[in-house]
Amino acid sequence: MPVKKKATTQKVTKKNTRANTKKKVEVKKKSLAKKQPVKKIAKKKVAKNVVKKVAKKIVTPKPPKIKKVIVPQEFKAGENIVYPTHGVGRILTIEKFQYDLVEEQLYVIQFFQDKLTIRVPFAKAKLIGLRNITSKPSMTRTLSVLKQKPKIKKAMWSRRAQEYDQKINSGDIKLLSEVVRDLFRKDDQTEQSYSERQMFQVAFERYTREFAISSSLKFDEASTKILEILNKR
């Protein structure tokens, strides 16, 4: 009988130990379950602090600076000028133009002969050959060129036409007067080809417009005076 009692006591102790271990495990699980939300809240606070620090470090980039091309203004609005490849024109106004972070000023020019309006940057005015109207004394001296006999080379017309075209677009008033002198034909002289008449008309009109402005004459008055000089030679 005593042996049986010992076996029962051993079974009871084993059951108690198992129950205790189960309770301990459950207590640990509950404690862990309670602690987990606290850890999550702590992580969120840390994340917010990190975001704030990063936001403070981020610096908004400054807008790029616009480079201004500063070139002295040589001509004024309303002033008459000569553009070598277009002839006499008038500066309507001065404009500012911006491109690729560069800002510069432009001459807005209207031409009488071609009825054309173009814009020329201040920086390119000299390179193009933009110039003032020839003074009256200098213009008067070119009239003596018109009184001379024409100097026509014996080269083919294509070669001469190229030379005349270069003189017309040179912007030099003296060279322009030479073209007018050489291409002018009286009514009783030999007829010209169509290209010769066209080239004479361009040279004559450019020369006459500059002569008219320089001499304070109307275009028709200046044209009549020049034709009289050409016909008398």
Q: Do β-strands 102-111 and 67-68 pair in parallel, antiparallel, or remain unpaired?
A: parallel
Residue 26 domain-assigned? Answer: no
Of the candidates 75, 107, 132, which is a domain's last residue?
132
Q: What would the two tokens of residue 191 be?
A: 């007829």
**What is the CATH number for 111?**
2.40.10.170
- Cα–Cα distance for residue pair 223/212, rounded to 1 Å: 8
Query: Are residue 142 and residue 220 in the same domain, yes or no?
Result: yes
**Enclosing domain of residue 210:** 136-232
Of the candidates 111, 132, 153, which is a domain's last residue?
132
Q: Which residues, 6 or more positions from 55, have their beta carbon under 8 angstroms from its beta carbon?
A: none
> For residue 233, what pLDDT is reported?
86
Residue 124 domain-assigned? Answer: yes
Q: Do β-strands 131-132 and 80-83 pair in parallel, antiparallel, or remain unpaired?
A: antiparallel
Residue 201 domain-assigned? Answer: yes
Q: Which residues, 6 or more positions from 152, have their beta carbon under 8 angstroms from its beta carbon?
A: 160, 182
> For residue 132, what pLDDT is reported?
97
Residue 41 domain-assigned? Answer: no
Q: Please state the domain count of the chain.
A: 2
**What is the CATH number for 156?**
1.20.58.1290
Q: What would the two tokens of residue 226 be?
A: 């020049």
Residue 80 domain-assigned? Answer: yes
DSSP 120: E
> Would you give the distance in Å from CA 117 to the centre of its chain?
17
> For residue 99, what pLDDT is reported?
80
Query: Are residue 192 and residue 180 in the same domain, yes or no?
Result: yes
Query: Are residue 128 and residue 140 in the same domain, yes or no?
Result: no
Query: Are residue 127 and residue 141 in the same domain, yes or no?
Result: no
- Listed residue (94, 113, 114, 115) closest to 105, CA to CA: 94
Per-residue pLDDT in tens (0 to 9) along the chain, 233 residues: 444 444 444 444 544 555 555 555 555 555 555 555 444 445 555 555 555 555 556 667 777 777 787 888 999 999 999 999 999 999 999 999 888 788 899 999 999 777 799 999 999 999 999 999 999 999 999 999 999 999 988 889 999 999 999 999 999 999 999 999 999 998 777 778 999 999 999 999 999 999 999 999 999 999 999 999 999 98
The dihedral of CA 8, 13, 16, 22: what is its sign?
A: negative
